[in-house]
């Protein structure tokens, strides 16, 4: 008998012929998440498990950040036999209401699940005078998972994780990470669908402070366990913003800046083979997120732009930010580049033609080459 951490997944079961591929991804991601912990990860049929660890709480804490994991349990592993299971259940101390839940994945086990659950329940009642059966709303549940590997796993608690799909092998997404609440949540949401991402951040030093940059680096490191980021690119937009401010219509400043940001992201996608750009935009939240503004921004995108928060309201975004521990960092009072040269009345219905007309007033190609060639790369 030994204690193990039993890991269950759900959406992977729907992958048919690709199930083996996704299970392998999840297995490898779990090993990465547990890097530095002395333990062993095993793949058994329709389950993964961790054994030979010292700190169960640390193992569970890391596993909860791994997309594809549905739930986790600290379980006792015993040899599968009717008598061995009964002997173990006989030792359990139960106070209050309970039920036994038997999962007979090994179909050669001689007793049907419901019948065996009833047998085990009788054993608990005989050895725990303060216990009673309640199959609808029990205070305690004894889970008995009889697996195909000749082992049975007995546990009482299911610790739920985020489910979703395991992160892919390649960093296919480029997350535009500001210092605000929304973009870390956007990265989290796309990672839940299996998109591994690196990070692109824009600053406007000296109009934005070094503390503002450090704040975003902190955010990047907080979401790294979820999105699998390895690199953070920092691009200074100061010179371009100054050119826009001096030569272009003030009300178009934000729209022109967003278009320039997408062009920088395009360049990084080409250079490092990212396949999609991820942003934290939510429809109608600010002037740069109207249908017209998003259309203008999209017109310069050469890669798929993913906006997972497009239908979220602010409360929904804040709730996720608090859950993933980015909210308190995001609300620290440091400026970001979108607040520099902020117009009093930004245009809310820009046209592509007008944006292009304003861009023609500066040597945008030369300015973009300048900022792209001076991008700072931070290894997270």
Tens of pLDDT along 343-357? 788 899 999 999 999
pLDDT tens figures, 306-359 = 999 999 999 999 999 999 999 999 999 877 777 777 778 889 999 999 999 999
3-state secondary structure (DSSP) of residue 217: helix
Rounded mean pLDDT of 252-270? 96
Is pLDDT at 232 greater than 90 in this prediction?
Answer: yes
Token pair, residue 363, equals 């040597």
Tell which CATH architecture fits domain 2-160.
Answer: 2-Layer Sandwich (3.30)
Percent of the chain at pLDDT > 90 equals 90
The pLDDT score that the predictor gives to residue 170 is 82
3-state secondary structure (DSSP) of residue 235: strand
3-state secondary structure (DSSP) of residue 361: coil
Q: Which of 45-49, 176-180, 295-299, 338-342 is least confident?
A: 338-342
Confidence of residue 259 (pLDDT cuts 50, 70, 90): very high
Is pLDDT at 284 greater than 90 in this prediction?
Answer: no
pLDDT tens figures, 187-205 = 999 999 999 999 999 998 8
Residues with Cβ within 8 Å of residue 317, at least 6 apart in sequence: 181, 182, 185, 282, 309
Is pLDDT at 287 greater than 80 in this prediction?
Answer: no
Rounded to two decimals, what is the model's pTM?
Answer: 0.92
The pLDDT score that the predictor gives to residue 175 is 98
SS3 content of the chain, % helix, strand, coil (to 5): 45, 20, 35
| Higher pLDDT among residues 159 and 15, named by residue | 159
Locate CATH 3.40.50.620 in the chain: 171-379
Torsion sign over Cα 172, 174, 179, 185? negative
What values do phi and psi take at 58, rounded to 5? -70, -40
Locate CATH 3.30.2130.30 in the chain: 2-160
DSSP assigned state of 153: E
Superfamily of domain 171-379: HUPs (3.40.50.620)
Rounded mean pLDDT of 124-151? 96
The pLDDT score that the predictor gives to residue 22 is 95
Residues with Cβ within 8 Å of residue 7, at least 6 apart in sequence: 30, 47, 48, 49, 50, 63, 69, 71, 72
Rounded mean pLDDT of 29-55? 96
Rounded mean pLDDT of 293-304? 97
Q: Are 145 and 80 in contact (CB under 8 A)?
A: no
Q: Where are the alpha helices (DSSP H) in the chain?
A: 19-33, 56-63, 82-90, 113-127, 182-191, 210-227, 238-247, 253-272, 291-298, 314-323, 327-330, 352-359, 364-373
Rounded mean pLDDT of 166-189? 94
């Amino acid at each position: 008998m030994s204690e193990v951490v039993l890991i269950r997944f759900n959406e992977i079961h729907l992958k048919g012929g690709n199930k083996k591929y996704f299970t392998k991804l999840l297995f490898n991601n779990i090993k990465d998440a547990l890097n530095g912990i002395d333990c062993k990860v095993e793949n058994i049929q329709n389950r993964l498990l961790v054994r030979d660890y010292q700190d169960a709480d640390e193992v569970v804490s890391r596993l909860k950040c791994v997309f594809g994991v549905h739930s986790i349990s600290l379980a006792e592993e015993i040899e599968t036999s009717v008598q061995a299971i009964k002997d173990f259940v006989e030792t359990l101390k139960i106070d209050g209401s309970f039920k036994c839940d038997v999962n007979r994945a090994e179909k050669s086990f001689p007793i049907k699940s419901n019948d065996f659950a009833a047998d085990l329940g009788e054993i608990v009642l005989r050895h725990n005078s303060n216990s009673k059966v309640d199959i609808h709303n029990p205070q305690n549940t004894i889970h008995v998972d009889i697996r195909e590997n000749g082992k049975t796993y007995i546990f009482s608690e299911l610790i739920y994780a985020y489910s979703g799909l395991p992160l892919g092998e390649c960093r296919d997404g480029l997350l535009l990470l500001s210092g605000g609440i929304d973009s870390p949540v956007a990265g989290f949401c796309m990672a839940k669908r299996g998109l591994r991402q690196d990070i692109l951040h824009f600053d406007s030093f000296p109009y934005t402070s070094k503390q503002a940059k450090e704040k975003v680096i902190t955010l990047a490191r907080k979401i790294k366990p979820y999105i699998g980021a390895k690199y953070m690119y920092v691009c200074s937009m100061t010179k371009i913003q100054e050119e826009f401010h001096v030569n272009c219509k003030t009300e178009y400043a934000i729209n022109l800046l967003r278009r320039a940001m997408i062009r920088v992201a395009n360049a990084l996608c080409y250079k490092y083979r990212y396949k999609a750009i991820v942003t934290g935009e939510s429809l109608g939240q600010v002037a740069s997120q109207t249908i017209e503004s998003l259309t203008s921004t999209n017109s310069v995108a050469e890669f798929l732009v993913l906006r997972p928060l497009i239908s979220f309201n602010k409360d929904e975004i804040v709730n996720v930010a608090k859950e993933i521990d980015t909210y308190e960092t995001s609300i620290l009072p440091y400026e970001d580049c979108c607040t520099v040269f902020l117009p009093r009345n930004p245009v809310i219905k820009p046209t592509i033609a007008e944006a292009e007309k304003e861009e023609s007033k500066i040597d945008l190609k030369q300015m973009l080459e300048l900022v792209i060639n001076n991008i700072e790369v931070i290894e997270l």
